[in-house]
Structure 1
Amino acid sequence: MFINVYTISIVFSITFLIVVIELVIKNKLQERYSLLWIFMSIVLLVFSSTPVIINTLADWLDIKNPPSLLFLFGLVYLLIYNLHVTTVVSRQSEKITKLTQEIALLKHTWDQENKKEKN
């Protein structure tokens, strides 16, 4: 059996797709985040299983080694996804800070009310 980059990419895509679906089934990954990973797995699977697409794109972009285009797409995708996740984490961090402050204010108010009732 002849193993090349395309074969490895196909196996990786299928394996990754199965892992993502398993994580969703076990509720370890939310559906909204899994959609991007599933989409990327399918795109990689299509590109890997039809080298004509990659070869054509590589010729059009003047890339000498067409399989390296797969890795370029993966790298660009990961950079974009990393930026997206960073913005989500930033928003959640701001919400956590606000909620923590609100809880502290409520606790302070609660303590003040309890002091008044005791006196």
Structure 2
Amino acid sequence: MSTATYIFGIIAAVAALTVVVELLRRNRLRERHAVWWITGGILGLIIAIFPSIVDWAAGIAGVEVPTNLVFFVSIALLVLICVQHSSELTTLEDKTRRLNEESALLTMRVRALEDQLNAPLTDTSDKE
């Protein structure tokens, strides 16, 4: 690997970590979402600083081409992020449905009460 490749890898990893930290700081990203991105950024930074780690890990995992291991780990990280988001989306859909149902019931109760108030008053006393 050339020196430019090392520098590019380090700059890319630091840029990714900087973006995640800045999003956290501005409250545009929650901590539970940032965990996987920070993990990926730190792994990218470690690999950029020590590229021989990929060769070592590929040897341990039995992967012939170290780049394939990098792709596999990257895809696995993205799948974990997708699963986390899907889980949270399902929870939010359930909460939204429940809130809509409660709102509809409350609207029905308010309309019924308004109808009772607006109904013509009938005199129930005996007129003889």
Answer whether TM exceeds 0.5 for this pair.
yes
- 1:44/1:70 contact within 8 Å kept: no
Aligned runs of 1:14-25 on 2, under 5 Å? Answer: 14-25=14-25
- 1:63/1:69 contact within 8 Å kept: yes
Give the Cα separation in 1 of the matches to 2:50 and 2:3: 16
- 1:13/1:42 contact within 8 Å kept: yes
Aligned runs of 1:17-96 on 2, under 5 Å? Answer: 17-96=17-96
Give the Cα separation in 1 of the matches to 2:110 and 2:86: 36
Once structures 1 and 2 are overlaid, which stretch shifts more, 107-116 or 33-42?
33-42
How far off is 1:83 after superposition? 1.3
The aligned amino acid for 1:70 is V
Structure 1 runs (4+) greater than 6 angstroms displaced? none
Give the Cα separation in 2 of the matches to 1:60 and 1:35: 26
TM-score (norm 1): 0.86
- 2:14/2:45 contact within 8 Å kept: yes
Q: Counterpart of 2:4 in 1: which secondary structure?
A: coil
How far off is 1:21 after superposition? 1.0
The structure in which a higher percent of residues are helix is 1
RMSD between aligned residues: 1.8
- 2:55/2:66 contact within 8 Å kept: yes
- 1:17/1:38 contact within 8 Å kept: yes
Kindly name which structure, 1 or 2, has the bigger radius of gyration based on alpha carbons.
Answer: 2
What stretches of structure 2 of length at least 5 have no aligned partner?
120-128
TM-score (norm 2): 0.81
Q: Residues 90-114 of structure 1: CA distance to partner in whole angstroms, max 9, x if unpaired?
A: 1111110111111111111111111
Q: Counterpart of 1:3 in 2: which secondary structure?
A: helix
Q: Counterpart of 1:29 in 2: which secondary structure?
A: coil
